[in-house]
């Protein structure tokens, strides 16, 4: 059987994001999701953060179309773009916090030369079906044009007490794989033992979602090390890096754990604040 053109395209693009099968991706959609208060003083401009991200050596940058456009001269040709095509603001009413709507398209990702598309599904939300159906359509379109799709696979609903529960996270990741995601970004479940249970049910690469800035840098680096030892294939990180005074050092510490198998304690020498 001949190979389809689109499956070649997907392989080529995924190959630009994953280095030896692993990736450290910079998440930079917080201005939309949380608002500008997430950004430390002096880093309010998207160009300041993008310059740091490009120099840090991330494997890809996930951002929104407006930020991708405003900073394209910095990342284009240097770091692959993953266009985030769903979102929600934190200022919506509480009962509407469990739905991500469309904020971009696969066509726009192609137009900008992106190597991937990313979209969120809140598994267990009362609006789960809207997000899952939208994600399924995104997968179909991406499949026909050779574009990899990353899912932000987040258990989240008003009745759900523990978003990080291993059984719930592994269910969300399995459901994400069943929908056809190429990469899964999900919550860290607290240990290598539990994260292994997440990885083992997911037939596609699972990457840890960074989360709010850890109290101690070493705690974050240990979480990254646990994810890798559990068979996770990388990290998608935003706040832990861009809220650190040592942005580039911390990013390189994470990269050394993911790509060179460094121990968290050894990587700390790069990340000191
Ligand atoms: P972080 O590493 O900062 O957690 O970024 C990952 C991310 O998924 C972002 O892409 C997104 O803006 C944010 O977390 C969502 O945060 P929340 O969990 O508050 O919805």
The structural domain count of the chain equals: 1
Specify which residues 117 forms β-bridges with: 83, 149
Which two structure tokens, joined as six digits, stand for 235?
């990290």
Active site residue 185: yes
Residues 133-146: pLDDT tens digits?
A: 999 999 999 999 99
- Cβ atoms of residues 268 and 218 within 8 Å: yes
- How far is ligand 1, taken at its centre, from the CA of residue 265, in Å? 25
- How far is ligand 1, taken at its centre, from the CA of residue 112, in Å? 23
Closest protein CA for atom 5 of ligand 1:
238
Residues 36-70: pLDDT tens digits?
A: 999 999 999 999 999 999 999 999 999 999 999 99
Give percent of the chain above pLDDT 70: 100
Residues 189-216: pLDDT tens digits?
A: 999 999 999 999 999 999 999 999 999 9
* Mean pLDDT, rounded, of the chain: 97
- How far is ligand 1, taken at its centre, from the CA of residue 158, in Å? 18
Beta-strand pair 86-87/101-102: antiparallel
Q: Which of 65, 185, 197, 215 is catalytic?
A: 185
Predicted local distance difference test score (pLDDT) of residue 227: 98
Whole-model pTM: value is 0.97
Find the CATH number of the domain harbouring 208. 3.20.20.70
Q: Give the range of the structural domain holding residue 187, as residue numbers without chain letter.
A: 5-271
Question: Which residues form ligand 1's pocket by a CB distance below 6 Å?
Answer: 27, 29-30, 33, 152, 209-211, 237-240
């Amino acid at each position: 059987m001949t190979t389809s053109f689109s499956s070649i395209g997907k392989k080529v693009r995924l190959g630009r994001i994953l280095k030896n099968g692993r990736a450290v991706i910079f998440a930079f959609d917080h201005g939309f999701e949380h608002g500008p208060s997430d950004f430390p003083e002096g880093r309010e401009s998207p160009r300041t953060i993008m310059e740091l991200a490009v120099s840090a050596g991330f494997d890809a940058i996930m951002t929104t179309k407006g930020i991708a456009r405003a900073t394209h001269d910095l990342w284009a040709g240097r770091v692959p773009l993953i266009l985030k095509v769903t979102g929600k603001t934190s200022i919506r009413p509480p009962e509407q916090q469990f739905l991500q709507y469309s904020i971009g398209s696969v066509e726009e990702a192609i137009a900008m030369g992106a190597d991937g598309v990313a979209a969120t599904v809140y598994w267990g939300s009362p609006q789960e079906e809207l997000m899952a159906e939208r994600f399924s359509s995104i997968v179909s379109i991406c499949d026909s044009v050779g574009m990899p799709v990353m899912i932000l696979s987040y258990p989240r609903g008003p009745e759900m007490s523990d978003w990080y529960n291993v059984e719930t996270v592994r269910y969300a990741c399995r459901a994400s794989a069943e929908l056809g995601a190429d990469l899964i970004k999900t919550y860290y479940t607290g240990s290598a033992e539990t994260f292994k249970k997440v990885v083992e049910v997911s037939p596609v690469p699972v990457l840890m979602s960074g989360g709010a800035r850890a109290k101690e840098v070493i705690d974050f680096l240990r979480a990254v090390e646990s994810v890798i030892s559990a068979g996770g294939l990388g990290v998608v990180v935003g706040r832990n890096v861009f809220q650190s005074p040592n942005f580039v050092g911390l990013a390189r510490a994470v990269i050394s754990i993911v790509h060179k198998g460094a121990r968290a304690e050894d990587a700390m020498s790069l990340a000191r604040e």
